[in-house]
Amino acid sequence: MTRYIFHKEDSRHHEFNEWLDSKKTFSFADYYNPKRMSFGALRVFNDDTVQATKGFGRHPHDNMEIISIPLEGSLIHKDNLGNEKVVKKGEIQLMSTGSGVFHSEYNHEQDKATRFLQIWIYPAQLNNAPAYSQVAINEAKSQHQFSTIVAPEEGPHTARIQQDAWLSIGHFGAGETFRYDIRKKDNGAYVYLISGNIEIDGHNLSAGDALGISDTHSFSGTIKSQDTTILITDVPMNLEK
Amino acid sequence: MTSNISLRLLAIGYHPEIMQVLHRLMNSHSGWKGDIATSLEEATSLITNNTYDGILLAVGVTPEDETFIRTQVEITAPDTKIIRHYGGGSGLLENEIRTTFENLTTK
């Protein structure tokens, strides 16, 4: 029987200071809610807005697949693997942090805020060699259908993740319908609405809302407004950590 | 809340620079006292000579190492909680500790 977890936008933990406005879906840093720990292998889903030139200084990561998706503006990333990259709207960055990476991450814009999704997924294996990838989203292919932006296999517009996980993005218009087939048995789909309005199995989602769907092979939805953008994170639900 | 109690923690991991960060984070938290070990030998010595509430298995610790550590802990301090630490820093650390100890401390 299909299971649903509905996360309304205003149910996210919201905290801000002079440079960071962060909306956290799941428990992270000082925010602790035992009912909001993860959706399967999806452990972190933060919607962060960083003020111009500000950001996160050099800090470590390991054993996490960390995906950054700018929604407005751009980030500048530097790491000890030798990468120094600007990641802008329309691109995604994936760090397989494995056996350890140090990096910094700042808003690259000099005069405006950058908003980005920060997504952490548990890796399939521990302590692999770190890896970095950055790809441009195929905007043409993501019109009126879902385009894969993260997958276990690398592609020209697909970053390689070290987990049986897939991220897909699609831009739709009012009145369109979609069907999504979950990629693997025992995976679930976390549907995050970046913009617009949709309905899935009786659940009405507005921008910032999310619906976790599991114990099913597929689901369908109806687009309720123009300029609707949907991000689907398809992850294993049963983890042996 | 873990901040109101004293937890003695040991983090085991093989990336010295990351372990220094974990050491700093643990000891900057009110109510936690943390040691680090950057080798199995060092971990064995610390586990043998101290009593920890929790042991964090951090970067580099393999499933085989984990089995070895669990066996040692079962012999020397069976009440010690074994916690797998992910992420390398502050993002998940507090949550991992609270998930493990919150129910115990609120009883």
Give the pLDDT confidence score for residue A89 in this predicted structure: 97
Q: Which of B15, B1, B29 is nearest to B61 (CA)?
A: B15
B98 and A32 within 8 Å at the Cβ level: the answer is yes
Using the Cα atoms of residue A213, residue A229, residue A184 and residue A23 in order, give the sign of their dihedral.
negative
In the sheet with A65-72, reading across from the earlier edge strand, the strands are A13-16, A20-24, A42-50, A114-121, A65-72, A91-96, A131-136
Contact present, A28 and A12 (Cβ < 8 Å):
no
A62 and B86 within 8 Å at the Cβ level: the answer is yes
Nearest to B87 among A30, A32, A61 (CB): A61
Average pLDDT over residues B39-59: 97
Residues of chain A with C-beta less than 8 angstroms from the C-beta of B25: none
Q: For B61-101, write each residue's pLDDT tens digit.
A: 999 999 999 999 999 999 999 999 999 988 999 999 999 99
A99 and B59 within 8 Å at the Cβ level: the answer is yes
A241 has pLDDT over 70? no
pTM here is: 0.95
- Say which residues have a Cβ less than 8 Å from residue A73's Cβ, sequence separation at least 6: A88, A89, A107, A108, A109, A112, A113, A114, A115, A116
B88 and A60 within 8 Å at the Cβ level: the answer is yes
Give the pLDDT confidence score for residue B91 in this predicted structure: 93
Q: What is the ipTM of this complex?
A: 0.91
CA distance A3 to chain B (A): 24
B87 and A120 within 8 Å at the Cβ level: the answer is yes
CA distance A162 to chain B (A): 15
CA gap A120, A93 in Å, rounded: 12
SS3 assignment, position B95: helix
